[in-house]
Structure 1
């Protein structure tokens, strides 16, 4: 499994959002964007992380940073998650895990002491030219957004 490093060109993608509308990474050229990958909508850790991004969105937006969340969930589940939690940034569906794999966010991980294959909770900051600025794998759901904001000075 290959992992992205700062300076790499971010793999482009077009994925459906919670309403089934296509969203491309290229749509965000010219501004910075956080792309984060999470295992499953409406689970405790993923809800905490999504709500932390939601609550930080105005500060991130003021700094010129957009947020995109990506999971293997189908759009209908993402729509329920978005509506239940009042999420105001795009949630994208990657059921085939092609984008997750291209970004190194799907593969072997350790869970409760066992090696399993699944989504590796990961966060990336992509610069205005489409290059990876920050690549973080195996991040924690709780406290991660605050730590990222400190690192980005937002």
Structure 2
């Protein structure tokens, strides 16, 4: 599958969040959506990446943007992790089964390791991709850069 790029329409999806609620990308039509992919729950860089979304939620909201955290972990795992991290509002989505299906649709699945890239995909109000950045697995995305992209989109 080709990697998602700027100008593509973001594939819709139906995934459970950490609370077991079903979430569709199209539920957020009219808002920008930041799909913040992280390889695995319970790892330090991934934890900091997700905590940064929660810590900056007001700024995302003031820019008509919904941040979502995605990984291949199951939703019970994501729920326990969110509680551990103190993430009370941001939805952490479980691309668990079929394993990594949405990461595959976005061209972000690392077949050899069985998890997604660390990546940010900003989807516009019309469903088109506005920005994509793939990070080295050990690198924490710069939340200031992410917010800058959200503001200028």
Above 0.5 in TM-score?
A: yes
Unpaired segments ≥5 residues, structure 1: 109-114
Segments of 4+ in structure 1 off by > 4 A? Answer: none
TM-score, with structure 2 as normaliser: 0.88
SS in 2 for 1:34: strand
Tell me what 1:50 maps to.
50
CA contact under 8 A between 1:46 and 1:141: conserved in structure 2? Answer: no
Q: 1:6 & 1:40 partners in 2: Cα distance?
A: 25
Residue in structure 1 matched with residue 91 of structure 2 by the alignment: 90
Work out the CA distance in 2 between the residues paired with 1:119 and 1:51: 19
CA RMSD, aligned part only? 1.8
Residues 53-132 of structure 1 correspond to what in structure 2 (within 5 A)?
53-87=53-87, 88-95=89-96, 96-107=99-110, 116=113, 118-132=115-129
Distance apart, 1:118 and its partner CA:
3.4
Per-residue CA deviations over 1:2-50 (Å, capped at 9, x if unaligned) read: 1111110000000011122110000000111101111111210000101
Q: Number of paired residues?
A: 148
1:16 aligns with 2:13: no
2:133 to 101, 117, 136: 136
Q: Which stretches in structure 2 are left out of the alignment for 5+ residues?
A: none
Seen in structure 2, the aligned counterparts of structure 1 residues 53 and 141 have a Cα distance that, compared at 3 Å, is farther
> In the aligned structure 2, how far is the partner of 1:77 from the partner of 1:117?
17
